């Protein structure tokens, strides 16, 4: 049998003379749902009969495997669409945990999607996020091979795979990267070093937070906030709103850190401050898995009522500017 509705049947028709040699005739029939889809009588040796049956067996089974592969692709796409529809603005560990039920085949398929540069960029990033929830140590060898074989790997892919390795217990790459970024971010700020410091702080906080170093990430976020505030106090007035907006948005990341550290009071305070940013909205706080501890706090209902009655972010920025 090959699949649920396909079968191969062969009947030996005995020996016959084929030119000057004695050969064996074999009748081969392939049935699908009772219908004949292939029929042949061939003069073959025993070995050739076996090979013919094997080829036909693999041919029909391959369509079964293709069907299973298509079903896996469809299930992954359905989960991607759900997240995009319900939780597009946030990213957190466990967001794609539903994919675990698809079995061990899903992780290699997601890794392949991340590494291929032709699919839709958003789907590649979703695949990278999903790998955090489904990958096991069995994937470490494939990830290391990807680093070895792709010398022009995109930076964001390098970040995602480095963080994935750290989650799987291989921290050498992420720790080496963190140490390098800490040295860069410790430079004295001036016109020449400021771009490097700011970009280093952004990546450093991301690597720390997503590799489980939440307390260290708090320190990096606070360092970046103070630096941006200092810059805002020294630039032309028309440049300040964007800088302050960024300061407010960093507080959302702070809130996530505090929530995972169990510091609920600081978390709710940082989250409230973040709502002054034009890039943060209350719906994000309602669905972000990293803020689950804040939503479970007894203060949450009152906090939520207060947050819902707040001024719009643009008005909050105007008030801050007016106080200067």
In this predicted structure, the answer to whether residue 12 has a pLDDT above a threshold of 70 is no
pLDDT score of 310: 83
Choice between 2 and 208, residue whose per-residue pLDDT is larger: 208
Separation CA 234–CA 314 (nearest Å):
22
If you average pLDDT over every residue of the chain, what do you get?
Answer: 84
Output the six-digit token pair for 108: 């290699």
The CA-atom distances, in angstroms, between 165 and each of 21, 136, 153, 200, 253 are 63, 10, 16, 21, 22
pLDDT score of 58: 56
β-pair partners for 63? none
The ranges assigned to domains in the chain are 6-68, 87-170, 171-324
Contact of 60 with 30, CB cutoff 8 Å: yes
In this predicted structure, the answer to whether residue 234 has a pLDDT above a threshold of 50 is yes
Q: What is the pLDDT of residues 120-152, one digit of tens each?
A: 889 999 999 999 999 999 999 999 999 999 989
Q: What is the DSSP letter of 91?
A: -
Choice between 87 and 18, residue whose per-residue pLDDT is larger: 87
Q: State CA 20 to chain mean position distance.
A: 65
Q: What is the mean pLDDT of residues 290-301?
A: 98
Phi and psi of 223, rounded to 5°? -60, -45
Class of domain 171-324: mainly alpha
User: pTM of the prediction?
Assistant: 0.75
Output the six-digit token pair for 51: 């090979």
Q: What is the pLDDT of residues 13-28, one digit of tens each?
A: 444 444 544 444 555 4
Band the pLDDT of 155: cuts 50, 70, 90. Answer: very high
Output the six-digit token pair for 247: 């300061």
């Amino acid at each position: 049998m090959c699949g649920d509705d396909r079968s191969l049947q062969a009947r030996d028709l005995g020996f016959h003379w084929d030119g000057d040699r004695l050969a064996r005739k074999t009748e081969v029939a392939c049935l699908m749902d009772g219908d004949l889809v292939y029929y042949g009588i061939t003069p073959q040796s025993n070995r050739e009969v076996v090979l013919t049956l094997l080829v036909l067996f693999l041919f029909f089974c391959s369509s079964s495997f293709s069907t299973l592969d298509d079903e896996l692709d469809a299930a992954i796409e359905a989960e991607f669409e759900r997240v995009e529809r319900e939780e597009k603005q946030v990213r957190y560990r466990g967001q794609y945990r539903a994919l675990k039920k698809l079995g061990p085949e899903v992780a290699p398929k997601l890794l392949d999607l991340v590494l291929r540069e032709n699919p839709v960029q958003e789907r590649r990033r979703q695949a990278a996020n999903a790998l955090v929830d489904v990958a096991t140590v069995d994937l470490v060898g494939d990830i290391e091979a990807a680093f070895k074989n792709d010398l022009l790997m995109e930076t964001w892919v390098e970040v995602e795979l480095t963080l994935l390795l750290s989650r799987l217990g291989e921290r050498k790459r992420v720790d080496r990267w963190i140490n390098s970024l800490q040295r860069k971010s410790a430079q004295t700020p001036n016109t020449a070093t400021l771009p490097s410091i700011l970009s280093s702080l952004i990546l450093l906080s991301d690597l720390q937070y997503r590799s489980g170093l939440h307390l260290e990430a708090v320190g990096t976020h606070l360092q970046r906030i103070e630096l941006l505030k200092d810059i805002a106090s020294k630039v032309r007035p028309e440049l300040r709103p964007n800088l302050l907006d960024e300061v407010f948005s960093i507080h959302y990341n702070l809130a996530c850190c505090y929530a995972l550290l169990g510091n609920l009071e600081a978390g709710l305070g940082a989250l409230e401050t973040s709502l002054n940013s034009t890039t943060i909205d209350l719906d994000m706080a309602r669905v972000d898995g990293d803020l689950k501890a804040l939503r479970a706090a007894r203060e949450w209902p009152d906090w939520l009522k207060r947050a819902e009655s707040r001024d719009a972010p643009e008005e909050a920025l105007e008030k801050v500017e007016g106080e200067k």
